[in-house]
Homo-oligomer: A and B are copies of this chain.
Amino acid sequence: MLSLSKKIDYALLALSYLAHKPYRAANTKEIAEEYALPVELLAKILQKLAKAEILVSTSGPTGGYRLLLAPEKISVGAIVDIIEGRPALVQCMRSDSHSCDQIQKCTIRTPLMRVNARMLDMLDEISLAEICKDETESHLVTIPLLVRS
């Protein structure tokens, strides 16, 4: 609960890989081997990203995927949207809108919608560029890492 799916994790890894190699196409196998990911699964993820025009694909030998947009222009929220659809804290907030069984008597829906909106905003504010920064430079980041007691 409240976790990213592996698909999203894989997508972010792949996109960060591609962001570091903007000058040539990288194919699925190459990326999958780099991070030891299941090739078929990664393939489908990349296909979705290509269909959503985050990536551009070229077929055939020497083919593969390249980033179509600058990492600064791609938000984590957008990626989540593409791979899994818009996240929803509870059933009744999903775009395919199956309502919760409790919706008749539910007294917490409106407040939860605000929480949901805050979560979506947060995801939209995080760019792929931020995710791509490697550890050696991540201490320069503007938003401080908050340590929890």
A108 CB contacts on chain B under 8 angstroms: 9, 12-13, 16, 131-132
Closest to A7 in B: B1
Check A3–B88 contact: CB distance below 8 A: yes
Inter-subunit contact B118/A146 (CB<8 Å): yes
A135 at the interface (CB under 8 A from B): yes
> How distant is the Cα of A9 from the Cα of B115 in the complex, in angstroms?
13
Copies in the complex: 2
* Chain B residues positioned under 8 Å from A97 (CB to CB): none
The CA-CA distance from A110 to B134 in the complex, in Å, is 8
A111 nearest CB neighbor, chain B only: B131
A contact set with B: CB distance below 8 Å = 1-5, 8-9, 12-13, 16-17, 34-37, 76, 80, 84, 87-90, 100-102, 105-115, 117-122, 126, 130-135, 138, 141, 143, 145-149
27 chain-A/chain-B pairs, Cβ below 8 angstroms: A1-B4, A1-B8, A1-B87, A2-B4, A2-B80, A2-B119, A3-B89, A4-B90, A9-B108, A12-B112, A13-B107, A13-B108, A35-B106, A36-B102, A107-B135, A108-B132, A111-B138, A114-B143, A115-B122, A115-B126, A117-B146, A117-B148, A118-B122, A121-B146, A122-B122, A147-B149, A148-B148
